[in-house]
């Protein structure tokens, strides 16, 4: 598999000016990754006017492996995740030591302690009984937006479907944040991943050294926080360029904000609608998901135009009588498809991915640091999240029953609407990874986050 040559307007995007800020929006499979790799290669090519060292950034390690596969022989192009870039930059400036970033487990522990400490000092309130995930999310959101003071936090509007927090609740969150930061720092952990972008930005502000990269190209930019985008705008020289490729429908990490508030000056946003990846039947299911109520808050979701691919089979929907039977059947069928095709098994959690891929010979876990992207046949298993940006000939989406999706814990933490909005985007990512075949399985009732079984969008089967 090699990288296709850009066509039509894709070509124009690759060769846009190598200066300033550029934003390219496209729905799933419109060639954003293809354009991002070609553009990075172009900007790094010494024959290009204003060429220079180019950073090609994305969010997950599996996508780095995938991009490196295509960009392996591109001189002057460095491919990495935002996290690695941020950590490396801070280390180079002497502001990050070894193991100074709290792991997610450590972060959760210190946040739980901080909530307990706040509960002891505040008047009793059910607010403090909210799930830890809620507080983790709120603190991440504060960092992601670069809110450094309580007045900033009190003044800002929280975009999203969740009930807005009352000022008294924001005071409580800020007290939790203060407790958390103190405890984490005292434990020798000056950072967590959410705090890295602000630290990078602050460090760049007083960094008079020449910038390492003249150009930065970002794939899956919808997943970067505003603060991360601001830090990237600060990381290029005045005569450099920052190009962001994004899809709001596939946003996993939060709510959209304007490019201007992210520190960008964008004169024109390019939009792409031609889907090169999915068969028409799979694309139709993705479009129908985009029209469901939980997607309505996606202001500029653009409807994909007719797919570029030849007609195939409708996605298959299979109902099983038990989760065990479902997991075994998915593993057996995936193993059989995997002899000739690239197969993805995508689930909400890693544990579910392991369960549905148990016993498959040579199965590769997507969330492990894949150092190489195999393009031959085989089975990959992982979370929807780790499948972002990737594609497979055949995709299995197991455990899509209403009892698991939306996940009851996410509903408890964020309320039904917010949980449905978040999780339907995850499933949308899963659906749009499939080129030729999509097999959705469940027990009990089908999740309300997918179009109903009788919608005519599936071939429906009931297994024993």
DSSP output for 197-229: HHHHHHHHHT--SPPS-SEEEESSGGGS-HHHH
Binding-site string for ligand ATP from residue 194 to residue 223, where x marks contact by CB under 6 A and - marks none? ------------------------------
The correct pick among 13, 28, 431, 446 for binding ligand ATP (CB under 6 A) is 28
The correct pick among 326, 352, 391, 436 for binding ligand ATP (CB under 6 A) is 391
Does position 32 interact with ligand ATP (CB under 6 A)? The reply is yes
Helix (H) or strand (E) holding 104: helix 104-121
Does position 247 interact with ligand ATP (CB under 6 A)? The reply is yes
Least distance CB 140 / ligand ATP (angstroms):
23
Least distance CB 39 / ligand ATP (angstroms):
11
- Cβ closer to ligand ATP: 34 or 449? 34
Backbone angles phi, psi at 418, to 5 degrees: -65, -40
Does position 342 interact with ligand ATP (CB under 6 A)? The reply is no
345 beta partners = 381, 396
Which three-class secondary structure state does DSSP give residue 155?
A: helix
Q: 30 a known binding residue? A: yes
Does position 29 interact with ligand ATP (CB under 6 A)? The reply is yes
Binding-site string for ligand ATP from residue 428 to residue 447, where x marks contact by CB under 6 A and - marks none? ----x---------------
The half-sphere exposure of 6 on its side-chain side, counting CA atoms within 13 A, is 20
Does position 34 interact with ligand ATP (CB under 6 A)? The reply is yes
**CA gap 395, 342 in Å, rounded:** 9
Of 29-37, 189-197, 202-210, 221-229: span binding ligand ATP (CB under 6 A)? 29-37
Tell me the CA distances in angstroms from 154 to 151, 157, 176, 182, one per residue in order. Answer: 5, 8, 15, 21
Does position 382 interact with ligand ATP (CB under 6 A)? The reply is no
Least distance CB 273 / ligand ATP (angstroms):
11
- Cβ closer to ligand ATP: 31 or 398? 31
Least distance CB 73 / ligand ATP (angstroms):
17
Q: 31 a known binding residue? A: yes
434 beta partners = 392
**Which segments within 392-453 are labelled E, that is strand?**
392-397, 434-443
**CA gap 119, 330 in Å, rounded:** 45
The correct pick among 6, 18, 144, 378 for binding ligand ATP (CB under 6 A) is 6
- Cβ closer to ligand ATP: 4 or 188? 4
Tell me the CA distances in angstroms from 49 to 19, 40, 281, one per residue in order. Answer: 10, 13, 43
- Cβ closer to ligand ATP: 28 or 426? 28
334, burial (CB in 10 Å: exposed 0-12, middle 13-18, buried 19+): buried
Chain center to CA of 393: 21
Least distance CB 366 / ligand ATP (angstroms):
14
Q: 175 a known binding residue? A: no
Q: What angle do CA 447, 320, 311 make, to 5 degrees?
A: 70
Q: 456 a known binding residue? A: no
**CA gap 377, 268 in Å, rounded:** 40
Least distance CB 277 / ligand ATP (angstroms):
4
- Cβ closer to ligand ATP: 4 or 75? 4
Least distance CB 344 / ligand ATP (angstroms):
12
Binding-site string for ligand ATP from residue 249 to residue 288, where x marks contact by CB under 6 A and - marks none? -x-------------------------xx-----------
Of 254, 220, 142, the C-alpha closest to 387 is 220
Provide, for the chain, the percentages of residues in helix, strand and coil under a 3-state DSSP scheme, each rounded to the nearest 5: 45, 15, 40
The correct pick among 21, 22, 24, 31 for binding ligand ATP (CB under 6 A) is 31
| Number of chain residues interacting with ligand ATP (CB under 6 A) | 19
Q: 86 near 57, Cβ under 8 Å?
A: no
Q: In the chain, how long is the greatest CA-to-CA distance?
A: 67
**CA gap 89, 104 in Å, rounded:** 21
Does position 341 interact with ligand ATP (CB under 6 A)? The reply is no
Least distance CB 352 / ligand ATP (angstroms):
22
Least distance CB 30 / ligand ATP (angstroms):
4
Give residues in contact with ligand ATP (CB under 6 A).
4, 6-7, 10, 26, 28-34, 247, 250, 276-277, 389, 391, 432
């Amino acid at each position: 598999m090699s990288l296709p040559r850009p066509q039509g307007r894709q070509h124009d995007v690759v060769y846009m000016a190598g200066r300033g800020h550029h934003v390219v929006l496209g729905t799933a499979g419109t060639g954003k990754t293809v354009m991002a790799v070609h553009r990075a290669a172009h900007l790094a090519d010494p024959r290009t006017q204003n060429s220079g060292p180019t950073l090609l950034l994305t969010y997950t390690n599996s996508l780095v492996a995938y991009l490196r596969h295509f960009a392996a022989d591109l001189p002057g192009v460095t491919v990495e995740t935002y996290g690695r870039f941020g950590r490396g930059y801070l280390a180079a400036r002497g502001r990050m030591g070894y193991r100074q970033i709290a792991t997610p487990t450590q972060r959760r522990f210190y946040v739980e302690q901080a909530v307990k400490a706040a509960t002891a000092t505040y008047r009793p309130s059910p607010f403090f009984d909210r799930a830890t995930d809620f507080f983790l999310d709120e603190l991440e959101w504060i960092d992601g937006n670069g809110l450094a003071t309580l007045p900033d936090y009190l003044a800002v509007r929280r975009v999203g479907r969740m009930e807005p927090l009352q000022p008294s609740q924001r005071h409580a969150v800020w007290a939790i944040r203060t407790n958390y930061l103190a405890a984490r720092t005292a434990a020798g952990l000056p950072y967590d991943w959410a705090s890295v972008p602000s630290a990078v930005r602050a460090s760049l502000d007083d960094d008079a050294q020449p910038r390492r990269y003249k150009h930065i190209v970002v794939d899956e930019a919808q997943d970067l926080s505003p603060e991360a985008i601001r830090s990237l705008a600060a990381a290029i020289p005045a005569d450099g360029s920052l190009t962001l490729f994004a899809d709001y429908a596939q946003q996993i990490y939060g709510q959209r904000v304007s490019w201007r508030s992210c520190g960008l000056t964008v004169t024109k946003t390019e939009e792409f609608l031609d889907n090169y990846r999915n068969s028409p039947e799979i694309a139709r299911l993705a479009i129908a998901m985009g029209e469901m109520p939980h997607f309505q808050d996606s202001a500029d979701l653009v409807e994909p135009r007719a797919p570029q691919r030849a007609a195939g089979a409708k996605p298959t929907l299979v109902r099983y009588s038990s989760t065990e039977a479902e997991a075994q059947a998915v593993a057996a069928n995936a193993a059989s498809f995997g002899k000739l095709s690239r197969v993805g098994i995508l689930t909400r959690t890693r544990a579910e991915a392991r369960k549905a891929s148990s016993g498959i010979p040579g199965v590769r876990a997507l969330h492990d640091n894949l150092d190489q992207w195999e393009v031959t046949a085989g089975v990959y298993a992982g979370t929807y999240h780790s499948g972002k940006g990737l594609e497979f000939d055949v995709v299995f989406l197991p455990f899509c029953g209403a009892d698991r999706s939306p996940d009851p814990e996410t509903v408890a933490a964020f309320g039904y609407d917010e949980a449905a909005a978040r999780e339907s985007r995850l499933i949308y990512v899963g659906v749009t990874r499939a080129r030729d075949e999509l097999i959705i399985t469940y027990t009990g009732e089908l999740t309300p986050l997918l179009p109903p079984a009788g919608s005519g969008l599936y071939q429906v089967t009931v297994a024993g």
